[in-house]
Homo-oligomer: A and B are copies of this chain.
Amino acid sequence: MTPYDQLLEKSKVIHIYQSVLSLLHWDQETHMPSGGLTMRGEQIALLSQLAHEEKTSKSYKAALEKLVSLKTGKIKIKGLSKLQQIAVREWQKDYCRANKLPSSFVKAFSQLTSEASQVWALAKKENNFKLFAPFLQRIVQMNREKATILGFTDHPYDALLESHEPCMTSARCSKIFNGLQGELKGLLKKIREEKKPDVRFLHRRISNEKQKEISHWLTSAMPVDPEYTRLDLSSHPFSIALNPKDSRITTRYLPHSFMSNIFSILHEEGHSMYELGLQSEYWGTAVCESASLSIHESQSRWWETIIGRSFPFWKHFYPQLQKILPSHLKGVSLDKFYRAIHLVTPSFIRVEADEVTYCLHIILRFEIEKQLIAGSLAVADLPEAWNAKFKELFGIKPPSDAQGCLQDIHWSLGDFGYFPTYALGNILAAQLFSTFAKEHPDWEQKVESGDLAFIREWLKKNIHQWGRTYNYDEFAKRITGKPISESFYCKYLKKKYLNPILS
């Protein structure tokens, strides 16, 4: 075996562990009898440990060092193809990152967040921030330590941000978000002056049977081969790939919102198509791994918002939906429906936010996270700071911490620097779309006729197939010819929401 194949074999073992872990998580959220929970924890702990041991083992290091210098990243052997070189480059990066944090730190962090996420759930349920505060305090403290261990130049938050979006710093993020914030607030002000559409018909009670019918109809309309995917129910919709031939999504049935089911499916299908579009022959390497959370989110929001909320999309699909829901949609014209699904209104909960206000929720969290990590905001003062910033951005104040700073699970899981990727995903999606629309000037006619496959092909060609070959910045430049900028997203939103059809 060549040194490349030797490392590939080891890497595949790690990928198998990860794929089994994905199945364990999927099963836990979808089908597992509740009695199985304790044992599931033991299964996950053992498999996670095996993957970690393999990644940080001496024999893995020895095999890697035959291929590449761990210090400089210089590849030591000749004759590798371009994609194999990418694989080696990322193996080296991953190894250095994984080995920076001592095992004792990883273990302590995992124990803390395991307990903290349970306490958070209770604190949210009881609207009791003080219950969660001591855990959040320790999580912030450990994240600061983590930043120090990982290293940073300007701001400790950079180190955390980089773990989730490798080519981003807090300074760059601030610049992008500042531009975005100004535009969004202006747009929101204009929209609020207009008459609100009637949305009551979207919230009439719907049976689970009808929801199921909608799910089946929508998933079979999407350009995804059922040989490689499936749909289940879970309390929060998610997408999980076991490998590039088996990527599963979930949705949920809210009895007073069938559109939540529809947009969840479109969102998760976007994630799933990304995973299914990776090159399976490179499985076990970074070429067959998604590039970053922001890029993943660009794919899900692409299908959920840019395509899934477009007029051509509903021009084709609305008559079909009307047939499924005759009593809900009787007498509701396409225009009325389209206006209703584009209601913009400030709300407290991020996951329920519309397209215009969504990124303001992210900017709020970004600002708070930076201050917590810098130490300029104490955990005890978080609720007050949250509410003040919320009032500044949205003009309203959350009625409780449960609907305020306690609403998201992320911090309890230890994730700082994760939230910005949601906004960065939207920003990239809009920028990519500007190029897509130029290359497919007839996209609206095609979508109107129900053709979605050419869109997936475009994404596969430009994003999916490359895996981690390029990063966030590089994809933007390669595909659109321009560096990443919030301007495309702002233009997209303005064009859409200031269009007479929505007023």
Interface of A is mostly: helix
B39 touches A246 (CB 8 A): yes
Q: Beta-carbon contacts of A1-44 to B below 8 Å, as 1s and 0s?
A: 00000000000110011011001100100011111101100110
Chain B residues contacting A239 (CB-CB under 8 Å) are none
Partner of A27, one of B27, B46, B47, B283: B27
Interface: A245 (CB within 8 A): yes
Chain B residues contacting A47 (CB-CB under 8 Å) are 20
Chain B residues contacting A226 (CB-CB under 8 Å) are 33
Chain B residues contacting A248 (CB-CB under 8 Å) are 33
Interface: A228 (CB within 8 A): yes
Partner of A246, one of B19, B35, B230, B245: B35
Partner of A13, one of B23, B46, B229: B46
- Minimum CB–CB distance from A26 to chain B (whole Å) comes to 9
B16 touches A42 (CB 8 A): yes
Known: A33-B226, A46-B13, A246-B32. A20 touches B20 (CB 8 A): yes
Chain B residues contacting A16 (CB-CB under 8 Å) are 42-43, 46
B33 touches A27 (CB 8 A): no
In the bound complex, how far is the Cα of B248 from the Cα of A43, in angstroms? Answer: 17
- We find that the number of chain A residues with CB closer than 8 angstroms to chain B is 35
- Minimum CB–CB distance from A427 to chain B (whole Å) comes to 32
A246 touches B36 (CB 8 A): yes
Interface: A211 (CB within 8 A): no
Interface: A290 (CB within 8 A): no
Q: Beta-carbon contacts of A38-75 to B below 8 Å, as 1s and 0s?
A: 11001100110010000000000000000000000000
Q: How many copies of this chain? A: 2
Interface: A292 (CB within 8 A): no
Interface: A285 (CB within 8 A): no
Interface: A381 (CB within 8 A): no
In the bound complex, how far is the Cα of B246 from the Cα of A39, in angstroms? Answer: 9
Chain B residues contacting A43 (CB-CB under 8 Å) are 16, 19-20, 23
In the bound complex, how far is the Cα of B12 from the Cα of A12, in angstroms? Answer: 25
Interface: A299 (CB within 8 A): no
- Minimum CB–CB distance from A279 to chain B (whole Å) comes to 15
Known: A42-B16, A43-B16, A46-B13. A245 touches B23 (CB 8 A): no
Task: Name A447-483 residues within 8 Å CB distance of B.
Answer: none
Chain B residues contacting A27 (CB-CB under 8 Å) are 23, 27
Interface: A206 (CB within 8 A): no
Task: Name A245-267 residues within 8 Å CB distance of B.
Answer: 245-246, 248
Interface: A243 (CB within 8 A): yes
In the bound complex, how far is the Cα of B16 from the Cα of A17, in angstroms? Answer: 14
Chain B residues contacting A243 (CB-CB under 8 Å) are 36, 39
Chain B residues contacting A227 (CB-CB under 8 Å) are 33-35
Chain B residues contacting A246 (CB-CB under 8 Å) are 32-33, 35-36, 39
In the bound complex, how far is the Cα of B299 from the Cα of A391, in angstroms? Answer: 65
- Minimum CB–CB distance from A285 to chain B (whole Å) comes to 15
Q: Beta-carbon contacts of A202-229 to B below 8 Å, as 1s and 0s?
A: 0000000000000000000000011111
- Minimum CB–CB distance from A281 to chain B (whole Å) comes to 12
Chain B residues contacting A46 (CB-CB under 8 Å) are 13, 16-17
Chain B residues contacting A35 (CB-CB under 8 Å) are 225, 227-228, 245-246
Interface: A242 (CB within 8 A): yes
Interface centre among A17, A32, A33, A232 (most CB of B within 10 A): A33
- Minimum CB–CB distance from A208 to chain B (whole Å) comes to 13
Closest to A226 in B: B33
Query: Can you list 28 residue pairs at the A/B interface with Cβ under 8 Å?
Result: A16-B43, A16-B46, A19-B43, A20-B20, A20-B47, A23-B43, A27-B27, A31-B31, A31-B232, A32-B246, A33-B226, A33-B228, A33-B229, A33-B245, A33-B246, A33-B248, A34-B227, A35-B227, A35-B245, A36-B228, A36-B242, A36-B243, A36-B245, A36-B246, A39-B242, A39-B243, A39-B245, A50-B50
Closest 3 CB pairs of A and B: A36-B246, A35-B245, A35-B228
- Known: A35-B227, A39-B242, A39-B245; 6 extra A-B contacts, CB below 8 A, are A19-B39, A31-B31, A31-B230, A33-B228, A38-B245, A39-B246
